[in-house]
Each structure stands twice: as C-alpha cells, then as structure tokens.
Amino acid sequence: MTKITMIGAGNLALHLSHALRHAGHEIVQVYSRTERSASFLANQLNCPFTTEIDKITPSDLAIIAVNDDAIEEVEKHIDFPKVHTSGTKGLECLTNSNTGVFYPLQTFSKESEVNFKTIPICIESNDEALRPLLHQLGTSISEKVYTLNSHQRRQLHIAAVIACNFSNLMYRFSQEICEEHEIPFEILHPLILETANKIQSLQPSKAQTGPAQRGDDLTLQKHLSLLENNSELQTIYKTLSDSIKKHS
C-alpha cells in the first residue's frame, strides 16, 4: 500500500484518487486552493483536506494533479517524493531528485465514469528508487503502463488532442446541424462508434471513407453550398476534405 497526498481536486484528481483507493492505496490528504473542491473530494475519500499549501501532509508520494500553469508554483512547497500528471510539462519542471511523471492518457469528466484498467499510464523518472514505485502504482490500477520520456509524452499529447478534442468538436458541429434541422443527434451514434471501433483492427489510413477519400467532388461542392451560411464550418469542411484527398 502506498500512502499518497493528492494535490488537486479536479476531474483527474477525483477519478485517479478513487482508482488508487480501490486498488488498496491510501489517500492521506487532499490539497486544493478552494475549500469547496478540496472538501468535496476529501469527503468522498474519508480523509482530511487543506487549502493551505504550507500544511500539506508528507507521505510516500505527492501526486500533483493541477493545471499545467500551476505545477511549478505548487511543487516547490513539496519536499518529499512527487510526480505531476501533465502530458506537456517535462520532468525538469519539478525540483529535487525524487521526482517523476504519472500521466493517465484519458479524457476525464466528473459526470462520466471511467475504467482505469483500460487507461494507459505513462511514467517517467530519473530516480532509481522512485521508478519501480511508479510502475507498481501504475500496474495496480491499469493493465497498460508505458515508460516514456518527456519528448515522447509531449508528442503523445499532441496526438491525443487531435484524436480526442478535435474529434469532439466535430461531434458538436454535427449535433448543431442535426438540431437545426430537427434531426435527433442519436441517429449518428452507431456511425461514430463504428468509426472509433474500426481503428482497433485497421490502420486509420485504411479506415478512411467518404466523398473526399473517393474523390467525389460533386458531393463535396453540394455540402459546401449547404454550409454557405456557416463560414467557419464551411472553411473547416473544405480544409479537412482537401487534407483527406491529399492523403488518399
């Protein structure tokens, strides 16, 4: 069992805390700048909380799950083993020698449950003693633990933003089109799920379909004409269609 101090009480901290606790680890304290968020998570974990940075309780490991911009301000107050959970910040942003990275590659919302067993955990540490602890911690909650350096993790984060955040924006545009024309958005759910499931057995380059991939310029022009009242989406549609054609 690892005793952990959770620094942060947002979406990631909430899901990660519960996964760690379920795996038999102990969250000894929750720190957050606001009492509301700190007490909310601490009450769920049945542990104390603090909003005072100089009253953070030492433990086997501090997990810093805060916004990237706040990591360096917070971490300098922690003088025991610590990791951050960022996909873009390097290992060098943490002071002292017993530091590392514990980055779960997933999108987290408080309203949506996740199965941590399927979530990849990316770890990094230059400390010989901390590295096996992070691996052990990762394998206790996930079946997929990867050792990546800071450069690899930054590139992975770019890929993740494109695959997740950009795709979700496309879902939003699709929903808005459906709602504008009184079409239930759920009609697209099977198509979206099939597209996501397909790349588990096919390379994305082999799974691409649609009018741009097959060079159906007549359909593309019809779609662009239908989007003439939405210049933003029209530009996005044309840019992405041109890119699909280029890579077909």
pLDDT reported for residue 152? 96
Q: Are 132 and 162 in contact (CB under 8 A)?
A: no
Q: Does the pLDDT value for residue 109 go beyond 80?
A: no
Residue 110's pLDDT band, with cuts at 50, 70 and 90, is confident
Pick the CATH number of 153-246 from 1.10.1040.20, 3.40.50.80, 1.10.10.10, 3.40.1190.20: 1.10.1040.20
User: What is the location of CATH 3.40.50.720 in the chain?
Assistant: 3-148
For the segment 36-74, what is each residue's pLDDT rounded down to a tens digit?
Answer: 999 999 999 999 999 999 999 999 999 999 999 999 999
Q: How far apart are CA 64 and CA 174, in angstroms?
A: 36
Residue 161 confidence (pLDDT): 93
Radius of gyration (C-alpha) of the chain in whole angstroms: 22
Taking the domain 3-148, which CATH number applies? Answer: 3.40.50.720
The structure's pTM equals 0.85
> What average pLDDT is seen over the chain?
93
Enumerate the CATH 1.10.1040.20 domain ranges in the chain, comma separated: 153-246
Encoded tokens for 70: 């706040």
- The pLDDT assigned to 31 comes to 96
Q: Is the pLDDT of residue 243 over 80?
A: yes
